[in-house]
């Protein structure tokens, strides 16, 4: 599994003023919960940049004042005005307690529909699952080797050992759409096939033969 190493500084002061002071200094207030007690700490903006702005799923090896914990990033808050990172929530992992997370999707293979000129349209970016921490995986791989033109692949195909998929089964993960140009060509071909026979065409079966002379 992808791991992210993070070191934090334990917080001694709390409240709005203390948090504002931390943010002005370039740090982010954080809390680790889910263990015997909540741990309040701070990290620098730079230290969590690759964790917060990555599409990957990470297990975090977190150390605060020499004490190490395994955790995941559970929630984050941004300033609504300037989009600056305001707060991070981490969940401490317990090997006996299942957790709910969202895993990123990665498409593998080559779609026959794309080869024919279709366009792959992702419908989901992440899948919600429930599992014990030791059974989690980095990502959910979805094969598109059998995805034909105009078809879709749904959540119901996902089968992960020891992991319960919580996302609704009939939701499409991706589809191969027929481009507008191809639809126009298909419509034109269909219209041509339905057109009435032009004058001078060969008589149809049952028509009277033309008289000689």
pLDDT tens string 137-155: 999 999 999 999 999 999 9
**SS3 label, residue 198:** coil
For the segment 118-139, the average pLDDT, to the nearest whole number, is 96
Residue-level pLDDT at 192: 63
Q: What fold, for 100-193?
A: RNA Polymerase Alpha Subunit; Chain A, domain 2 (2.170.120)
Phi and psi of 194, rounded to 5°? -90, -5
Closest C-alpha among 124, 62, 66 to residue 88: 62
d(CA 75, CA 59): 14
Return the sign of the alpha-carbon dihedral for residues 47, 48, 50, 51: positive
pLDDT tens, 15-58?
Answer: 888 898 899 998 999 999 999 999 999 999 999 999 999 999 99
Residue-level pLDDT at 193: 61
| Band of residue 13 on the pLDDT scale cut at 50, 70, 90 | confident
pLDDT tens, 52-111?
Answer: 999 999 999 999 999 999 999 999 999 998 888 999 999 999 999 999 999 999 999 999
Residue-level pLDDT at 213: 44
For the segment 119-147, the average pLDDT, to the nearest whole number, is 96
Using the predicted structure, report yes or no on whether residue 114 has a pLDDT greater than 50. Answer: yes
d(CA 57, CA 133): 12
**SS3 label, residue 157:** helix
H-type alpha helices, 1-67: 16-24, 45-52
Using the predicted structure, report yes or no on whether residue 211 has a pLDDT greater than 70. Answer: no
Contact (Cβ atoms closer than 8 angstroms) between residue 70 and residue 94: no
For the segment 191-208, the average pLDDT, to the nearest whole number, is 55
**Tokens at 74, concatenated:** 């559970």
First to last CA, the chain: 89
**Tokens at 179, concatenated:** 């481009």
CATH class of the domain comprising 3-93: mainly beta
Phi and psi of 84, rounded to 5°? -75, 140
Q: What is the model's pTM?
A: 0.80
d(CA 99, CA 187): 50
Q: Domain ranges in the chain?
A: 3-93, 100-193
d(CA 41, CA 11): 5
For the segment 8-17, the average pLDDT, to the nearest whole number, is 89
């Amino acid at each position: 599994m992808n791991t992210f190493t993070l070191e934090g500084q334990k917080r001694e002061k709390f409240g709005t003023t203390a948090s504002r002071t931390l943010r002005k200094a370039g740090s982010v207030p954080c809390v680790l919960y889910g263990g015997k007690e909540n741990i309040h700490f701070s990290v620098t903006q730079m230290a969590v940049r690759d964790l917060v702005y990555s599409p990957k799923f990470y297990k975090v090896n977190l150390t605060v004042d020499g004490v190490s914990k395994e955790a995941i990033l559970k929630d984050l808050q941004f300033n609504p005005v300037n989009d600056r990172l305001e707060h991070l929530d981490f969940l401490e992992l317990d090997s006996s307690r299942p957790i709910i997370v969202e895993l990123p999707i990665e498409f593998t293979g080559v779609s026959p529909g794309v080869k024919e000129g279709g366009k792959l349209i992702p419908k989901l970016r992440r899948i919600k699952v429930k599992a014990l921490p030791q059974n989690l995986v980095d990502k959910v791989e979805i094969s598109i080797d059998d995805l034909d033109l105009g078809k879709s692949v749904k959540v119901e195909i996902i089968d992960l050992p020891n992991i319960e998929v919580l996302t609704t089964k009939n939701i499409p993960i991706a589809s191969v759409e027929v481009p507008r140009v191809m639809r126009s060509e298909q419509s034109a071909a269909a219209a041509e096939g339905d057109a009435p026979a032009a004058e001078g065409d060969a008589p149809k079966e049952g028509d009277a033969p033309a008289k000689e002379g």
